[in-house]
Each structure stands twice: as structure tokens, then as C-alpha cells.
Structure 1
Amino acid sequence: MSGRSEPVGGPSMGSTGEWRGRELGTKTVTYDETRPILYALAVGADASDLDLVFEERLRVLPTFALTLAQWAPDALGSAGAFDIRTAVHGTQRLRVLKPLPRSGSVEMKARVAEVWDKGSAAVFDVAVESEYFEATWSLFAPGRGGFGGDRGPSARRRPETSPTGSLAVRTAPNQAALYRLLGDRHHLHIDPEAAKTAGMPRPIMHGLCTLAAMTLPLASSLGAHPADLTELEGRFAAPVFPGDALQIDTWKDAEATLFEAAVDGKTVISAGRVRFA
């Protein structure tokens, strides 16, 4: 996978509110069908899912777009908006505009859509736009709040009614090792020593891998195809470890399906929302 990007300019880490509206540049990423096939396998597709893993019938999973656009939140951190050692990925949103090509080039542009003041921390919303999708990363940055900005919206709460459905999904022990080949090579997902340094007992799953992996069984439960995803949202509430079994509760909404995922009773993905065509 190759890409062409324009340099990012920005203020130093001293004026949190000034990052709002900051342009993060443009990037064109080129790939062949190998990448979306590898991606499908990394998020749980089976060898029998021929329209996800066989180039002759390939339909690209829409969440593959998030690997193409990962450069944008990385660029914001590199430009000095926050301390990349302590900032965490809080929420992810994706809206699909049209199917991604099996192979080719995708041009994207990115900006800081909003900066929210949570008091002791700030939340940076990084928006990426292309002809195929719109995606927003919400990045929680400790120590960057208190600049007098708006607190922003609260996360959607778990519905008070009983779930209308429930799914059990087990992640694979090698899933993080596979997913990191798509571009996110952070040592936390592969190196036990790096995980311990970060306060984890062992390497953890990528949040975007966990979220995308859930869309396959969710689609199946709704009688939809995972490549027909049109909207996805989720909040990363706690780490997931490769091999963990997820319990997914679902609720029907007016236009979408709401969901939460837990491991051993602890919520790991909250405020989930998914919609298929």
C-alpha cells in the first residue's frame, strides 16, 4: 500500500482551542486486492466467505476505509496537538458513501472538525472525507482540557429496555498480529514487554479491529451482507485481548441497530450503532 501526502502545519502544544478547524492535509493511498482480502481475514472472515477473500468475487468491507485513513489522526499527534504517549482512541464513526474499489487509489482530505473541553482532558475530532466515505476519530487527550471550550455531547447511554438480541463472538489468538499488517504497527499489539509498559498484562486488540470484527456477525444476525454497511459508530470503553469472547447485546432503533459488547461482564464497546443497506 502506498500513499502521497502533503505536509501538516499547526500550532505548538500550548493552544488547544486553536486546533479547531486545522487542515491536516490530503493523502492518496493506492492498493491492490491483496490488502482488502488480508483485511477481511484479519477481522474474522472465513475462507468460505468467497466474496470477501477471493479476488474474482471480491466485495471490499467498508471498514477497510479506516485503515486507509489512519494517517490523519497520526498526523495530528505528530504535529504536536497532544502527547501521543497518553492520548487514546475514544470513539469511531464511519459513514459509507459508495463501495470502495477492489483495487485502485483513494484520495482523502482531513481536518480537525472540533475540539471539546472535558476539563482535565480534551477530545479532538479528526474528520476524514473522500468520495467513498466520511470517518471521524475522537481522540481523548489527558492534560489538554481547561481551555474554556464547550464540553460537547455526552456518549449515548445503554438503552434501559432489555436487549432484543444477543450474539457471542470469539476473537482469534492471532488476530492482532494479522491486523497490524494493515498499517497500525504499534508495539502494544504484539510485544508483551511494550504491553506491560503500557500497564497491560499482554498485547491487546486494535480497537478498530474489534469494532470491525463485530460487523460480520451483526450483519448475519440482521440478514444483511457485511459489505452493505452504511453507518457504524462505537466507543472504546475497555481493552480487548486476542482470544477474548465477546457478548454483544443489540436493540432495534428506528433506523439502525444499537449494540454494546462485553467480555466477562465488562463493557468493552459502548454506544454502538450500526446500519446496513
Structure 2
Amino acid sequence: MGGRPPTGGGAHEWQGRSLGARTVAYDETRPILYALAVGAGASDLDLVFEERLRVLPTFVLTLAQWAPDVLGSAGAFDVRTAVHGTQRLRVLKPLPRSGSVEMSARVTDVWDKGSAAVFDVAVQSEYFEATWSLFAPGGGGFGGERGPSSRRRPETGPDGVLTVPTASGQAALYRLLGDRHHLHIDPEAAKAAGMPRPIMHGLCTLAAVTLPLAESLGAHPADLAELEGRFAAPVFPGDALQVSTWRDGSESGAVLFEAAVDGTTVISGGRARFGAPPSRRTR
């Protein structure tokens, strides 16, 4: 970890800063718990049964959560007001059922949005590359570049629409994977943050979309190769997401998507690509 910024410095002082390295070990229980927490069912044996287990690639994001947490606790921004803006993931090779993952992290970019700063925290390992974009109100205005624009919704009508349910206890289950922010379980903490009740973890919602998305494409969710999404509005446990999808028209075979709840967009700029030959999940 690089420590706190120099006295009198601003958000831009964090650009390029190393956040250190960490090795996180896990046994097969954690990826099974994770699969259940993001919507897998008891009949999805290759996701929840240790004898056939394939680890969902988005599971790595729970192992790497330490990196953005380190940046916040070091004083780069106010952890009470900063929010997770965008998540990107590129899978390099499948995770083993159990083992350990060596990771390193750094702040790759700090963008100036005027009234806010956006910190890009990149985590790398032999299994994946992932980037958290963290929106920090009050951190902008330092004269830096604004950064890339968000991917826009396609102008054509969607090629498909999926309904993705969430469970009333889903956030309570997902928090056991490591993100135990009180906002996701305690009604009083949620009210203090301006929410009527506890909200879903953004990464849980994003991962939950990938399971039915893979099935609609004839792919296996464990064959996810790339994923990106912007968190546009909160999702509450029990909400049903309407996910609109578009083929992106390139040779990559990726699909673009946007998720909404009762007409309000909750995930925008979504993009997913499944890299292995199509296969159906074992039922």
C-alpha cells in the first residue's frame, strides 16, 4: 500500500499508486456458496455440487474486494459517500475448485468529473484482470482528464428480453462472501444512506444476470470471458430485473445488455462474452 496522499495533494496524487499484493485461499465451499448467492439452483449440479464443480468466474471479484477497500481505508476518498460506479472483468483462465489466488493491485487512473473523481482500481492475477471504478463525490476539480464516456444503449430495439428474479434473502446470503457493509442487511444503516431498506450488492446483481444470459445464448456461465456493467441505480432484494439484450455486431460474439426494475435502469452499458464452445448447464 502506498500510504496516504501528501499533505495538500488531491485525488490525482493517487494515480499509479500501488495498493500492494495479497494471496487469498479458499476451499470448494466458497464458490458453491457464491453460486447459490447469485442465483444458481440446487439442480445446477456443476455449480453447486463439489463432484462436478465449475467455479463461476465472477467469484474472483469476492477474492479481490480487498483492493478497493484498501484504497478507501487509506484516505483516498470519503468511504461514506463514494459508490461503486462500474465493474470490468477479463478472465484469463478457469479458477480451480479450491486453492489460492495471488493478486496485485494499483490505481491505474484518476479521472476528473468536475464535482467528483473516479478512481480506477485494477487487480491482476494469473486467472483474471478486474477493474473497479469508484465514484467519489467532492474529489474532482483538479484539472485532470474526464476519462472515457460510458457505453450508450443501442438505438435499435433489443434482440431479446430476460426476466431475472432476485430473492428476498439474497443480499443477506451474498454478504457472507466478504462484503459485509451494513447497508445490505441493517434497515437503520440503509435509512441513514437514504434508502428505504437494505439494497443488493451491485456485484451480486451483475453476476446474477450472467446466469440466465449465458443460458439464453446456449453457453455455460462458467465460460464467461469478459464482463462489464455500470451500476445506475440500487436494486432491492426481491426485485425482478428486466434485462434487454443486443448482439454487439462484432466478431467477438459478445452481447450487450441493460437491466431495469419497473422501468428504471439499474445496470447500464452491460457487455458480456462467453468464450468456450456452447454447452448447457447440467440440470
TM score, norm. by length of structure 2: 0.95
Provide the residue aligned with 2:134 in structure 1.
139
1:71, distance to aligned residue in structure 2 (A): 0.2
The equivalences for 1:204-215 within 5 A come to: 204-215=199-210
Matched, 1:200 2:214: no
Cα shift readout 1:127-178 (whole Å, capped 9, x = no counterpart): 0000000000000000000011000011011000110010011100000000
User: What's the counterpart of residue 170 of structure 1?
Assistant: 165
Percent identity of equivalent pairs:
83
Residues 63-98 of structure 1, C-alpha deviations (whole Å, 9 max, x = no match): 000000000000000111000000000000000000
Instruction: Identify the match of residue 257 of structure 2 among 253, 256, 259.
Output: 259
Q: Secondary structure at the match of 1:40?
A: helix
Match of 1:10 in 2: 4
2:49 corresponds in structure 1 to 54
Does the 8 Å contact 1:12/1:81 carry over to 2? Answer: no
Question: Is residue 71 of structure 1 aligned with residue 66 of structure 2?
Answer: yes
Q: Identify the residue that residue 96 of structure 2 maps to in structure 1.
A: 101
Report the residue type matching 2:273 in the other structure.
R
Q: What's 1:235 paired with?
A: 230
Corresponding residue to 2:84 among 74, 77, 89 = 89
Q: Is the 8 A contact 1:11 1:18 kept in 2?
A: yes
| Contact 2:183 2:190 survives alignment (8 Å) | yes
Please give the alpha-carbon distance, in whole angstroms, between the structure 1 residues aligned to 2:2 and 2:37.
31
Query: Separation in 1 of the partners of 2:176 and 2:197?
Result: 19
Q: What secondary structure is seen at the aligned counterpart in 2 of 1:146?
A: coil
Q: CA 1:16–1:118 in 2, change beyond 3 Å: closer, same or farther?
A: same
Distance 1:207 1:88 in 2: 10
How many Å apart are 1:11 and its aligned residue?
Answer: 1.2
List per-residue Cα deviations over 1:98-140 (Å, max 9, x = no partner): 0011001100000001000000100000000000000000000
Alpha-carbon displacement from aligned partner over 1:186-228 (angstroms, at most 9, x marks no partner): 0000000000000000000000000000000000000000000
Q: Aligned partners of 2:183 and 2:73: how far apart in 1?
A: 18
The size of the alignment, in residue pairs, is 271
Shift of 1:233: 0.1
Cα distance in 1 for partners of 2:20, 2:193 equals 30
Deviations 1:214-272, CA, capped at 9 Å, x for gaps: 00000000000000000000000000000000000000011210000000000000000
Report the Cα distance in structure 2 between the residues aligned to 1:10 and 1:55, rounded to whole angstroms.
43
- Give me the TM-score of the superposition, normalised by structure 1: 0.97
CA RMSD, Structure 1 to Structure 2 (Å): 0.8
2:153 maps to 1:158 = yes
Three-state SS of the structure 2 residue aligned to 1:112 is strand
Contact 2:2 2:17 in 1 (8 A): no
Q: Which secondary structure state, in structure 2, belongs to the residue aligned with residue 210 of structure 1?
A: helix
One-letter amino acid matched to 2:269:
A
How far does residue 8 in structure 1 lie from its aligned partner after superposition? 4.5
Q: Is the 8 A contact 1:98 1:133 kept in 2?
A: yes
Aligned mates of 1:226, 1:128 — CA distance in 2: 22
Q: Which runs of 4+ in 1 moved over 6 A?
A: none
Per-residue deviation at 1:10?
3.4
1:187 maps to which of 182, 190, 208: 182
Contact between 1:12 and 1:80, CA under 8 Å: does it hold in 2? no
Question: Deviation at 1:12?
Answer: 4.9
Partners of 1:32 and 1:12 lie apart in 2 by 40
C-alpha separation in 1, matches of 2:164 and 2:257: 13
> Hey, what does 1:4 align to over in structure 2?
none
Any conservation in 2 of the 1:63–1:212 contact (CA below 8 Å)?
yes
> Offset of 1:18 from its aligned partner?
1.2
Q: Which runs of 5+ in 1 are unaligned?
A: 1-6
